[in-house]
Structure 1
């Protein structure tokens, strides 16, 4: 009887253990499945993120290439516009630092300068004379006078006459006293009429020349040039970026 009860108890125990183990295994399997499903979900999400990141990088690269092309196009167009503006000024000179008067006759001023520098330009060859607005409104300098000649040859002759006058009179270069202006003697400059962009480039070139010890800065044919000294070659300053590379 005792053996029978022992056997029965053992069977019940084994059954109970199997049931409990079955429940535990089922629970563990369910948890493993949930973990696997969760990991699969996270893996899909991660793969999606990786894919989207890759696509984003590709899109950024495409946009950067487009931006570079657009920037290059804009710079090319700006250069063309600047060249057109400069070509439109090819017959012009700019007279700088000539004092302003209320009832001034600009044509008479041009004639007086012409008489001083001995260019012999007749009035019929002058198409237009006018004062132009200042680039810097706060500048104390008077507004420049722009003179438009019939052609570039006449313009160049006037420029050359002004250059030669200053060369031949290094201690008394063209100034207000030559034109009968009262007050302190101040220089008067005759130069090419540059486009706005080229004026900015010329100003930047002068600053660079000062900072880096260049002796000469000049303009010819609407182009800006730099030269370190008499023993070096000249540099054509094409744009502001090219100034940064000058040593």
Structure 2
């Protein structure tokens, strides 16, 4: 298995001979407005794709959407994604994806088998309190296959009971948390903070961690350098990778 961080939450995952594209967001830098009621009001995304969109889409066998917020599925991606490919999603997103013209929308209620890959859907919390409620439902996904590491894509969630349950239930070899400590002008963060990443790594001492969702969207203010420093201080820098956009890491079982 290898994982390539394209940008933000967009990943190319090579798994069991298939390539899955996760949460595609293909807009040009500055093409989208800033998220409202956030500290940093610069346009989104903050950086360009590290490769042409054609290369991002090349050889993709299926698409996986953790949820349909714009930074995980934007209009540019909807226009460019092949509509015939299988697209896996959580139940609330079925109708929206069908309305976008996707022909094979596959809802993962709890688990689903595709091309020898077992997919499990996991829970999460996209923030706390009223803000968390307004952010709507989000999901993570676990991939398992013979001869491959078990991969847990946590999705847009903070550290919470649902994440802890997923770690205990699936014992992943590799975890991809979405970090950035995204937040609004009020309330708590809605994605993982540096403290959440440490707690996640400490709760899964046998897992490698590949951190995504950083330095692209305007309200994700946790930087890679700050996270790396915090990981070093907690003796986790060798087990927790903080890749650059475009970087690819291979994992073996």
State the structure with bigger RCO (CA 8 A, min sep 6), 1 or 2: 2
- TM-score (ref. length: structure 2): 0.23
- TM-score (ref. length: structure 1): 0.23
- Structure of higher CA gyration radius: 1
Q: Hey, which of these two has a bigger chunk of strand by percent? A: 2
